[in-house]
Structure 1
Amino acid sequence: MTEPDLNLLIALDVLLAEGSVAGAARRLGLSASAMSRTLGRLRTVLGDPLLVRAGRHMVLTPHAEALRERAQHAVAEACAILSPSTAELDLPTLARTFTLRANEGFVEVFGPLLITQAALIAPSVRLRFAPKPEKTSLPLREGLVDLEIGVLGEMGPEIRLQMLFKDRFVGIVRKGHPLTLLPEVTAGQYVSFGHVVASRRGRISGPVDEALAELGLERKIAAVVPSFSAAQAVAMASDLVALVPKSFLKYQYIDNDGVASGTLYAFELPVKTKGITVSQMWHPRSEVDPAHRWLRQLVLSVCRQRAPELHNGSALKTQVR
């Protein structure tokens, strides 16, 4: 039996990722004719055309689509096997850009300390925060981001996971709002005011509404905005009630004792909802990379340092004076 040419595996991975002979040739530093010959060899070995013309472009065949992720994982695993297991990391001279995919709430709360500490330890490292319009493992799988930070979604069984902290939602209103005069906000009082909802996808209802429905109550949603920052801004300028994660609230709007600042008041919700587990996720290709391991440890350390009471699950104080 003839042994397969494993160099073809790298070419296959690049061809399927690029979806074109020209793009694959550029990435591999080959001429277009040499890449075409390699494609011909792959077609013979695999018994499939892999790339076929569709108008002015090339598209992957169904078999090529099925092979795409497998080829990517095989090449990543091979690279990991052939990498030194005891590679030394010189952080003062490390020059690298790490891309972290996270929502703006995480960036606003944890970003400043994360950037500051990274600069002190590895001054040539750059942190690039990418927006997170939806939950998907595609950016991790395609190597577009180094870390995904947030609540676990449909990420796939191969994605690595580490919990950073536990969070929960709290209510916020402007200082001087009628709810600030109450010793404790009841469900009835909570729904007696209009609400502003933060949702990237424009959703109106969520777990809080499900819990209220069990009590026969319903919120009046006056506005839907795309972020917690926007919801907070609306609440501060109106009588609407907003809902934000405690992590988003803690270090921006209330002091270290949990007391509201001069413009905002926070209170515990009058209904029980499930907690939120915020994690960092990465692709197996980065598992043993020393620089990536340092980044993961840094993110974990900053989150535990910035929000220790979230990790321990302490209660929120609500007095305003």
Structure 2
Amino acid sequence: MDLRRIDLNLLVAFDMLMTERSVTRAAQRLSVGQSAMSSTLGRLRKLFDDPIMTRDGRTLVATPLAESLAEPVRDLLVDIENVLALRNEFDPFTAEQTFSIIANDYLIMTFLQPLIARLSTEAPGIRLRIFPTGDDFADQLRRHQVDLLLIPQEAFEEHAEFHHHVLFQDRYVVAVDKDHPDVADEITLEQFSELPYLAASSGHLRSLSEMQLDFLGVRRNTEITAGFGTAPFLLKGTRLITLVHERLARKVHEAAGIRLLEPPIARLQPITEIMAWTNRTDAVAGHRWLRRMLIDLADEYDGDPAHSGI
């Protein structure tokens, strides 16, 4: 095959079709019309002398040849992007670029909010698209639907498959109404087990704190289940108690009218927040700049003595 006759854009389209398994979604991702993408699929079929995608009911199914080409083509595109990125200069003050990130409410409130504030002066042309953590977060990253994943390492068993960096650790504290009638300066394990309990969750995912408490055999009198971003604000005027990340608790304790206490559970482990990305963006200057911004923010926070101890 004469490489001079090959349009590299065909391989980009092939990669997107294999990622999305849909002509419509691939067209949307590449910002082209559906008819143009259908035409491109026809060119791919001619190039490889293979149907590439066949219809099975309402879905498109890749042929065996297409499946065998998917990984080599993706690796090839990554290598090309990395070669081009070697001479790519990135000036955050003048750059116009959008980055997509998966992060939960806790990270948005405690970690990304300072980044957003900093971008307005240091990188006014940078835009962030932040998506919630769904059940398919690993696949979204693997399929390059997002640029960066921020998540507890303990909730991401496959993190070793990706480039990743530890940002910070955060421990759990007990939160109660500041005028709680039954809890003074300390809370006992017996009180923790008997008082009405608010279980925090992350969408459809069980929180790491709840999984730890189950593993440790700690009983709870669960009366309410709510997202951990809103949990601290539901305690005021109640006898409820809850476990909350210390960073979030310290940020909202005055507004929420709550007190923070040491957990009466000795073996309760902190979470380790990491960021993960793929080889596709590893050497790209703009992405390296964003990751460095996040690392610097994490270092600044960990160096602040106001965020240690109850």
TM-score normalised according to structure 1 size: 0.80
Query: Could you tell me whether the CA contact under 8 Å between 1:194 and 1:220 is conserved in 2?
Result: yes
C-alpha separation in 1, matches of 2:23 and 2:215: 52
Q: What letter corresponds to residue 270 of structure 1 in structure 2? A: P
> Of the candidates 30, 39, 48, which is equivalent to residue 45 of structure 2?
39
Match of 1:189 in 2: 191
Query: Could you tell me whether the CA contact under 8 Å between 1:198 and 1:228 is conserved in 2?
Result: yes
Query: Could you tell me whether the CA contact under 8 Å between 2:232 and 2:253 is conserved in 1?
Result: no
> Matched residue of 2:224: which SS?
strand
Q: CA deviation at 1:95?
A: 0.6
Stretch moving more, 285-294 or 20-29: 20-29
> Matched residue of 1:150: which SS?
strand
TM-score normalised according to structure 2 size: 0.82
> Of the candidates 271, 275, 285, which is equivalent to residue 270 of structure 2?
275
Q: Does 1:290 find its partner at 2:279?
A: no
Q: CA deviation at 1:85?
A: 1.5
Q: What letter corresponds to residue 206 of structure 1 in structure 2? A: M
Q: How many percent identity over aligned positions?
A: 27
C-alpha separation in 1, matches of 2:39 and 2:289: 42
Query: Could you tell me whether the CA contact under 8 Å between 1:13 and 1:68 is conserved in 2?
Result: yes
> Matched residue of 2:77: which SS?
helix
> Matched residue of 2:280: which SS?
helix
Cα distance change, pair 155–68 in 1 and its aligned pair in 2 (3 A): farther
Q: CA deviation at 1:172?
A: 0.2
Cα distance change, pair 57–190 in 1 and its aligned pair in 2 (3 A): closer
> Matched residue of 1:163: which SS?
strand
Match of 2:152 in 1: 151
Match of 1:240 in 2: 240
> How many pairs align?
297
Aligned pairs for 1:68-107 within 5 A: 68-81=70-83, 83-107=84-108
Q: What letter corresponds to residue 178 of structure 1 in structure 2? A: P
> Of the candidates 187, 209, 213, which is equivalent to residue 208 of structure 1?
213
C-alpha separation in 2, matches of 1:21 and 1:251: 45
Query: Could you tell me whether the CA contact under 8 Å between 1:247 and 1:307 is conserved in 2?
Result: no
Q: Does 1:119 find its partner at 2:120?
A: yes
Match of 1:174 in 2: 177
Cα distance change, pair 240–99 in 1 and its aligned pair in 2 (3 A): same
> Matched residue of 1:206: which SS?
helix
C-alpha separation in 2, matches of 1:91 and 1:290: 10
Query: Could you tell me whether the CA contact under 8 Å between 1:51 and 1:61 is conserved in 2?
Result: yes
Q: CA deviation at 1:229?
A: 2.6
1:281-303, CA deviations, whole angstroms, 9 ceiling, x for partnerless residues?
11111111111111111112222
Unaligned runs of 5+ in 1: 255-260
Q: CA RMSD in A?
A: 3.1
